[in-house]
Amino acid sequence: MKTVLVTGGCGFIGANFINHFVPQMPDTHFVNIDKLTYAGNPLSVAQQQNEPNYSFEQVDICDSDAVNRVFQKYAPDTVVHFAAESHVDRSIHGPADFVFTNVVGTLHLLEAARALWKNDFSDKKFHHVSTDEVYGSLGDEGKFMESTPYDPSSPYSASKAGSDHLVRAYHRTYGMPVTVTNCSNNYGPYQFPEKLIPLMILNVLERKPLPVYGKGENVRDWLYVTDHCDAIMTVVANGKTGETYNVGGNCERSNIHVVHTICEIVSELAKLNTEESKSLITYVTDRPGHDFRYAIDATKIQSELGWQPKETFETGMRKTVEWYLGHPEWITDVRSGKYREWIDQNYAARGEK
Protein backbone atom coordinates (compact mmCIF):
# COMPACT_ATOMS: atom_id res chain seq x y z
CA MET A 1 0.00 0.00 0.00
CA LYS A 2 1.27 3.46 -0.86
CA THR A 3 1.04 6.23 1.74
CA VAL A 4 0.33 9.77 0.57
CA LEU A 5 0.80 12.52 3.13
CA VAL A 6 -1.49 15.43 2.20
CA THR A 7 -0.87 18.77 3.92
CA GLY A 8 -3.75 21.23 4.27
CA GLY A 9 -6.38 18.59 3.47
CA CYS A 10 -9.09 20.48 5.39
CA GLY A 11 -8.75 23.55 3.17
CA PHE A 12 -10.55 24.19 -0.09
CA ILE A 13 -8.44 22.32 -2.64
CA GLY A 14 -7.00 19.78 -0.18
CA ALA A 15 -10.50 18.72 0.95
CA ASN A 16 -11.64 18.30 -2.65
CA PHE A 17 -8.49 16.23 -3.31
CA ILE A 18 -9.19 13.96 -0.30
CA ASN A 19 -12.90 13.60 -1.10
CA HIS A 20 -12.10 12.84 -4.75
CA PHE A 21 -9.28 10.30 -4.26
CA VAL A 22 -9.85 8.51 -0.91
CA PRO A 23 -12.87 6.57 -2.32
CA GLN A 24 -11.23 6.11 -5.75
CA MET A 25 -7.93 4.68 -4.44
CA PRO A 26 -8.72 2.19 -1.63
CA ASP A 27 -5.17 0.72 -1.82
CA THR A 28 -3.59 4.07 -0.98
CA HIS A 29 -3.49 5.40 2.57
CA PHE A 30 -4.11 9.16 2.69
CA VAL A 31 -2.78 10.93 5.80
CA ASN A 32 -4.15 14.44 6.12
CA ILE A 33 -2.15 16.86 8.27
CA ASP A 34 -3.67 20.26 8.91
CA LYS A 35 -3.30 22.95 11.55
CA LEU A 36 -7.00 23.83 11.19
CA THR A 37 -6.55 27.57 10.83
CA TYR A 38 -9.61 29.72 10.11
CA ALA A 39 -9.44 28.29 6.54
CA GLY A 40 -9.37 24.61 7.53
CA ASN A 41 -12.68 22.92 8.32
CA PRO A 42 -12.84 19.25 9.41
CA LEU A 43 -16.48 19.19 8.24
CA SER A 44 -15.20 19.42 4.67
CA VAL A 45 -13.71 15.90 4.92
CA ALA A 46 -16.17 14.43 7.48
CA GLN A 47 -17.35 11.83 4.96
CA GLN A 48 -13.87 10.21 5.00
CA GLN A 49 -13.29 10.05 8.74
CA ASN A 50 -14.18 6.36 9.15
CA GLU A 51 -12.58 5.15 5.95
CA PRO A 52 -9.80 2.60 6.55
CA ASN A 53 -7.46 4.32 4.06
CA TYR A 54 -7.78 7.77 5.68
CA SER A 55 -6.11 9.30 8.77
CA PHE A 56 -6.08 12.82 10.15
CA GLU A 57 -3.51 14.53 12.41
CA GLN A 58 -3.77 18.12 13.58
CA VAL A 59 -0.26 19.40 12.87
CA ASP A 60 1.21 22.85 12.30
CA ILE A 61 3.83 22.54 9.55
CA CYS A 62 5.78 25.34 11.28
CA ASP A 63 6.37 22.91 14.19
CA SER A 64 9.31 20.83 12.93
CA ASP A 65 9.13 18.28 15.79
CA ALA A 66 5.46 17.59 15.08
CA VAL A 67 6.15 17.33 11.34
CA ASN A 68 9.00 14.87 11.94
CA ARG A 69 6.85 12.80 14.29
CA VAL A 70 4.13 12.40 11.70
CA PHE A 71 6.62 11.48 8.96
CA GLN A 72 8.22 8.83 11.21
CA LYS A 73 4.79 7.49 12.27
CA TYR A 74 3.33 7.03 8.77
CA ALA A 75 6.49 6.78 6.60
CA PRO A 76 4.84 8.35 3.53
CA ASP A 77 6.37 7.66 0.12
CA THR A 78 4.51 10.60 -1.43
CA VAL A 79 3.85 14.12 -0.15
CA VAL A 80 1.24 16.39 -1.73
CA HIS A 81 1.74 19.80 -0.19
CA PHE A 82 -1.30 22.11 -0.18
CA ALA A 83 -1.02 23.74 3.26
CA ALA A 84 -0.57 27.48 2.99
CA GLU A 85 -1.85 30.84 3.99
CA SER A 86 -3.61 31.53 0.71
CA HIS A 87 -5.56 34.80 0.67
CA VAL A 88 -3.92 37.81 -1.03
CA ASP A 89 -5.93 40.41 0.93
CA ARG A 90 -4.99 38.84 4.28
CA SER A 91 -1.33 38.84 3.18
CA ILE A 92 -1.56 42.59 2.62
CA HIS A 93 -2.91 43.13 6.15
CA GLY A 94 -0.40 40.74 7.78
CA PRO A 95 2.41 39.13 5.78
CA ALA A 96 4.29 37.35 8.60
CA ASP A 97 2.10 34.22 8.80
CA PHE A 98 2.51 33.83 5.04
CA VAL A 99 6.29 33.67 5.33
CA PHE A 100 6.16 31.32 8.32
CA THR A 101 3.69 28.82 6.87
CA ASN A 102 4.47 29.06 3.18
CA VAL A 103 8.27 29.27 3.35
CA VAL A 104 9.36 27.93 6.75
CA GLY A 105 6.58 25.30 6.85
CA THR A 106 7.63 24.06 3.41
CA LEU A 107 11.24 23.87 4.61
CA HIS A 108 10.21 21.67 7.57
CA LEU A 109 8.33 19.30 5.25
CA LEU A 110 11.28 19.03 2.89
CA GLU A 111 13.62 18.36 5.81
CA ALA A 112 11.31 15.73 7.30
CA ALA A 113 11.06 14.00 3.90
CA ARG A 114 14.86 14.09 3.54
CA ALA A 115 15.32 12.66 7.04
CA LEU A 116 12.80 9.86 6.38
CA TRP A 117 13.88 8.99 2.86
CA LYS A 118 17.60 9.50 3.53
CA ASN A 119 19.07 9.16 0.06
CA ASP A 120 16.78 6.39 -1.08
CA PHE A 121 14.46 8.26 -3.37
CA SER A 122 13.15 5.31 -5.40
CA ASP A 123 9.34 5.49 -5.70
CA LYS A 124 9.29 8.71 -3.66
CA LYS A 125 7.68 11.99 -4.67
CA PHE A 126 7.37 15.45 -3.09
CA HIS A 127 4.70 17.38 -4.95
CA HIS A 128 4.35 21.09 -4.26
CA VAL A 129 1.05 22.82 -5.12
CA SER A 130 1.59 26.41 -6.18
CA THR A 131 -0.02 29.29 -7.96
CA ASP A 132 0.32 31.22 -11.22
CA GLU A 133 0.53 34.40 -9.10
CA VAL A 134 4.31 33.82 -8.73
CA TYR A 135 4.68 35.06 -12.33
CA GLY A 136 3.23 38.50 -11.54
CA SER A 137 0.86 40.40 -13.80
CA LEU A 138 0.14 40.22 -17.54
CA GLY A 139 -1.08 43.05 -19.78
CA ASP A 140 -3.75 42.46 -22.42
CA GLU A 141 -1.65 39.89 -24.30
CA GLY A 142 0.38 36.76 -23.57
CA LYS A 143 0.20 33.79 -21.20
CA PHE A 144 2.35 32.40 -18.41
CA MET A 145 4.70 29.61 -19.54
CA GLU A 146 6.77 27.41 -17.22
CA SER A 147 9.77 29.49 -18.39
CA THR A 148 8.18 32.86 -17.46
CA PRO A 149 10.44 34.64 -14.91
CA TYR A 150 9.05 34.95 -11.39
CA ASP A 151 7.82 38.47 -10.53
CA PRO A 152 5.42 38.22 -7.56
CA SER A 153 3.38 41.27 -6.50
CA SER A 154 1.82 40.41 -3.12
CA PRO A 155 3.28 39.01 0.11
CA TYR A 156 1.21 35.87 -0.64
CA SER A 157 2.68 35.33 -4.10
CA ALA A 158 6.19 36.28 -2.91
CA SER A 159 5.99 33.64 -0.16
CA LYS A 160 4.74 31.03 -2.64
CA ALA A 161 7.59 31.98 -5.00
CA GLY A 162 10.04 31.44 -2.12
CA SER A 163 8.59 28.00 -1.42
CA ASP A 164 8.69 27.01 -5.12
CA HIS A 165 12.40 27.91 -5.29
CA LEU A 166 13.12 25.97 -2.10
CA VAL A 167 11.38 22.83 -3.42
CA ARG A 168 13.31 22.98 -6.71
CA ALA A 169 16.56 23.60 -4.80
CA TYR A 170 15.99 20.32 -2.92
CA HIS A 171 15.91 18.56 -6.26
CA ARG A 172 19.07 20.19 -7.57
CA THR A 173 20.99 20.00 -4.29
CA TYR A 174 19.89 16.70 -2.74
CA GLY A 175 18.36 14.91 -5.72
CA MET A 176 14.93 14.84 -4.06
CA PRO A 177 12.26 13.78 -6.59
CA VAL A 178 10.07 16.88 -6.60
CA THR A 179 7.40 18.20 -8.94
CA VAL A 180 5.65 21.59 -8.86
CA THR A 181 2.33 22.70 -10.35
CA ASN A 182 1.45 26.38 -10.78
CA CYS A 183 -2.29 26.71 -11.22
CA SER A 184 -4.71 29.52 -11.96
CA ASN A 185 -7.72 30.53 -9.78
CA ASN A 186 -9.82 27.61 -8.57
CA TYR A 187 -13.51 27.59 -7.70
CA GLY A 188 -15.93 24.94 -6.48
CA PRO A 189 -17.27 23.38 -3.25
CA TYR A 190 -15.68 24.04 0.16
CA GLN A 191 -14.00 27.34 -0.82
CA PHE A 192 -13.80 29.69 2.12
CA PRO A 193 -16.18 32.64 1.55
CA GLU A 194 -13.49 35.32 1.62
CA LYS A 195 -12.57 34.50 -2.00
CA LEU A 196 -14.36 36.19 -4.90
CA ILE A 197 -16.74 33.45 -6.07
CA PRO A 198 -18.16 32.09 -2.77
CA LEU A 199 -18.28 35.61 -1.28
CA MET A 200 -20.40 36.82 -4.19
CA ILE A 201 -22.69 33.74 -4.16
CA LEU A 202 -23.46 34.21 -0.46
CA ASN A 203 -23.84 37.98 -0.71
CA VAL A 204 -26.32 37.65 -3.59
CA LEU A 205 -28.34 35.15 -1.54
CA GLU A 206 -28.27 37.40 1.52
CA ARG A 207 -28.93 40.59 -0.47
CA LYS A 208 -25.67 42.19 0.70
CA PRO A 209 -23.42 44.51 -1.37
CA LEU A 210 -21.15 42.78 -3.93
CA PRO A 211 -17.78 44.53 -3.44
CA VAL A 212 -15.92 44.69 -6.78
CA TYR A 213 -12.36 46.03 -6.56
CA GLY A 214 -11.46 48.93 -8.84
CA LYS A 215 -13.46 48.80 -12.08
CA GLY A 216 -13.89 45.02 -12.13
CA GLU A 217 -11.71 44.83 -15.25
CA ASN A 218 -9.01 42.57 -13.79
CA VAL A 219 -8.90 39.19 -15.47
CA ARG A 220 -8.40 35.76 -13.90
CA ASP A 221 -8.24 32.32 -15.49
CA TRP A 222 -10.73 30.03 -13.70
CA LEU A 223 -10.46 26.26 -13.20
CA TYR A 224 -12.97 23.99 -11.47
CA VAL A 225 -11.32 22.51 -8.40
CA THR A 226 -11.62 18.79 -9.26
CA ASP A 227 -9.95 19.47 -12.62
CA HIS A 228 -7.04 20.90 -10.62
CA CYS A 229 -7.06 17.82 -8.34
CA ASP A 230 -6.89 15.53 -11.40
CA ALA A 231 -4.00 17.58 -12.77
CA ILE A 232 -2.11 17.20 -9.48
CA MET A 233 -2.65 13.44 -9.36
CA THR A 234 -1.58 13.16 -13.01
CA VAL A 235 1.69 14.97 -12.22
CA VAL A 236 2.23 12.92 -9.04
CA ALA A 237 1.79 9.70 -11.04
CA ASN A 238 3.50 10.57 -14.31
CA GLY A 239 5.23 13.96 -14.03
CA LYS A 240 8.96 14.10 -14.67
CA THR A 241 11.09 14.59 -11.57
CA GLY A 242 12.33 18.13 -11.12
CA GLU A 243 9.74 19.53 -13.56
CA THR A 244 7.16 22.28 -13.21
CA TYR A 245 3.75 22.12 -14.92
CA ASN A 246 1.42 25.07 -15.43
CA VAL A 247 -2.27 24.23 -14.95
CA GLY A 248 -5.13 26.40 -16.20
CA GLY A 249 -8.69 26.33 -17.47
CA ASN A 250 -8.20 28.36 -20.67
CA CYS A 251 -11.07 30.35 -19.21
CA GLU A 252 -10.23 34.02 -18.84
CA ARG A 253 -12.98 36.19 -17.41
CA SER A 254 -13.01 39.75 -16.09
CA ASN A 255 -14.13 40.00 -12.47
CA ILE A 256 -17.25 41.95 -13.42
CA HIS A 257 -18.20 39.23 -15.92
CA VAL A 258 -17.80 36.62 -13.16
CA VAL A 259 -19.97 38.64 -10.79
CA HIS A 260 -22.69 39.09 -13.43
CA THR A 261 -22.67 35.33 -14.15
CA ILE A 262 -23.02 34.61 -10.42
CA CYS A 263 -25.94 37.05 -10.14
CA GLU A 264 -27.67 35.28 -13.04
CA ILE A 265 -27.15 31.69 -11.85
CA VAL A 266 -27.90 32.37 -8.17
CA SER A 267 -31.00 34.39 -9.05
CA GLU A 268 -32.28 31.64 -11.35
CA LEU A 269 -31.67 28.80 -8.86
CA ALA A 270 -32.81 30.70 -5.74
CA LYS A 271 -35.74 32.37 -7.55
CA LEU A 272 -34.52 35.93 -7.00
CA ASN A 273 -34.79 38.91 -9.31
CA THR A 274 -31.62 39.04 -11.49
CA GLU A 275 -31.66 42.81 -12.02
CA GLU A 276 -32.08 43.40 -8.29
CA SER A 277 -29.14 41.03 -7.68
CA LYS A 278 -26.96 43.00 -10.13
CA SER A 279 -27.93 46.26 -8.45
CA LEU A 280 -26.06 45.01 -5.35
CA ILE A 281 -22.74 45.45 -7.21
CA THR A 282 -20.67 48.07 -5.39
CA TYR A 283 -17.33 49.30 -6.75
CA VAL A 284 -14.85 49.68 -3.88
CA THR A 285 -11.27 50.92 -3.51
CA ASP A 286 -8.86 48.69 -5.39
CA ARG A 287 -6.45 46.18 -3.83
CA PRO A 288 -2.91 47.62 -3.61
CA GLY A 289 -0.58 45.91 -6.12
CA HIS A 290 -3.60 44.31 -7.81
CA ASP A 291 -2.33 42.13 -10.68
CA PHE A 292 -4.24 43.02 -13.84
CA ARG A 293 -4.42 39.71 -15.66
CA TYR A 294 -3.46 36.04 -15.25
CA ALA A 295 -3.53 33.56 -18.14
CA ILE A 296 -1.96 30.13 -18.39
CA ASP A 297 -0.38 28.25 -21.26
CA ALA A 298 -1.08 24.65 -20.17
CA THR A 299 0.37 23.03 -23.31
CA LYS A 300 3.05 21.13 -21.38
CA ILE A 301 0.74 19.19 -19.03
CA GLN A 302 -1.74 18.65 -21.87
CA SER A 303 0.71 17.36 -24.46
CA GLU A 304 3.15 15.50 -22.18
CA LEU A 305 0.72 14.04 -19.64
CA GLY A 306 -2.63 14.13 -21.46
CA TRP A 307 -4.48 16.18 -18.82
CA GLN A 308 -7.52 18.23 -19.90
CA PRO A 309 -10.13 20.04 -17.78
CA LYS A 310 -13.56 18.37 -17.82
CA GLU A 311 -15.72 21.31 -16.69
CA THR A 312 -16.45 24.51 -18.58
CA PHE A 313 -16.94 27.76 -16.66
CA GLU A 314 -20.70 27.48 -17.14
CA THR A 315 -21.02 23.84 -15.91
CA GLY A 316 -18.53 24.42 -13.07
CA MET A 317 -20.25 27.62 -11.87
CA ARG A 318 -23.65 25.94 -11.86
CA LYS A 319 -22.29 23.02 -9.79
CA THR A 320 -20.63 25.48 -7.43
CA VAL A 321 -23.76 27.57 -6.85
CA GLU A 322 -25.83 24.38 -6.36
CA TRP A 323 -23.30 23.17 -3.78
CA TYR A 324 -23.45 26.41 -1.75
CA LEU A 325 -27.26 26.42 -1.90
CA GLY A 326 -27.29 22.82 -0.63
CA HIS A 327 -24.83 23.20 2.28
CA PRO A 328 -26.06 25.89 4.67
CA GLU A 329 -24.61 23.99 7.68
CA TRP A 330 -21.08 24.16 6.22
CA ILE A 331 -21.49 27.90 5.63
CA THR A 332 -22.68 28.52 9.19
CA ASP A 333 -19.76 26.49 10.50
CA VAL A 334 -17.00 28.37 8.63
CA ARG A 335 -18.50 31.75 9.44
CA SER A 336 -16.99 31.90 12.89
CA GLY A 337 -16.23 35.07 14.83
CA LYS A 338 -12.84 35.28 13.11
CA TYR A 339 -14.48 35.35 9.69
CA ARG A 340 -16.79 38.18 10.74
CA GLU A 341 -13.84 40.16 12.12
CA TRP A 342 -12.06 39.76 8.80
CA ILE A 343 -15.03 40.95 6.75
CA ASP A 344 -15.35 44.02 8.97
CA GLN A 345 -11.62 44.79 8.75
CA ASN A 346 -11.23 44.28 4.98
CA TYR A 347 -14.36 45.95 3.65
CA ALA A 348 -14.99 48.73 6.21
CA ALA A 349 -11.60 50.25 5.35
CA ARG A 350 -12.29 50.23 1.60
CA GLY A 351 -15.47 52.26 1.40
CA GLU A 352 -17.56 52.74 -1.72
CA LYS A 353 -16.00 54.56 -4.69
Return residues touching ligand TYD (CB under 6 A).
88, 185, 195-196, 199, 211-213, 218, 220, 255, 287
- Which of residues 105 and 155 has its CB atom nearest to ligand NAD in the complex? 105
Interaction between residue 34 and ligand NAD (CB under 6 A)? yes
Residue type, 282: T
Site for ligand NAD in 66-105 (CB under 6 A): 82-86, 101, 105
Q: Which of residues 206-235 bind ligand NAD (CB under 6 A)?
A: none
Respond yes or no: is residue 329 known to be catalytic: no
One DSSP character per residue, 167-233 reads HHHHHHHH---EEEEEE-EEESTT--TTSHHHHHHHHHHTT--EEEETTS--EEEEEEHHHHHHHHH
Contacts of 272-279 with CB under 8 Å at 24 or more apart are: 272/204, 272/205, 277/204
298 binds, among ligand NAD, ligand TYD, none (CB under 5 to 8 A by kind): none
Candidate segments 48-56, 70-78, 136-144, 179-187, binder of ligand NAD by CB under 6 A: 179-187
CB within 8 Å of 153: residues ≥ 6 apart: 133, 136, 137, 289, 290, 291
Q: For residues 275 and 331, give the distance between their C-alpha atoms in angstroms, rounded to a whole number.
A: 25
Q: Which of 77, 85, 89, 132 is catalytic?
A: 132
Per CB under 6 A, contacts with ligand NAD among 281-300 are none
Closer to ligand TYD at the Cβ: 136 or 177? 136
Provide the 3-class DSSP secondary structure of residue 117. helix
* Residue 76 vs 193, nearer CB to ligand TYD: 193
Q: Taking Cα atoms as reference points, which of 229, 1, 59 lies closest to residue 127?
A: 229
Collapsed DSSP state (helix, strand, coil) of residue 253: strand
Q: Which of the following is catalytic: 34, 60, 77, 133?
A: 133
Q: Which positions are annotated as active-site residues? A: 132-133, 156
Residues that bind ligand NAD in the complex, under the rule CB under 6 A: 8, 10-14, 34-37, 39-40, 60-62, 82-86, 101, 105, 129-131, 160, 183, 185-186, 192
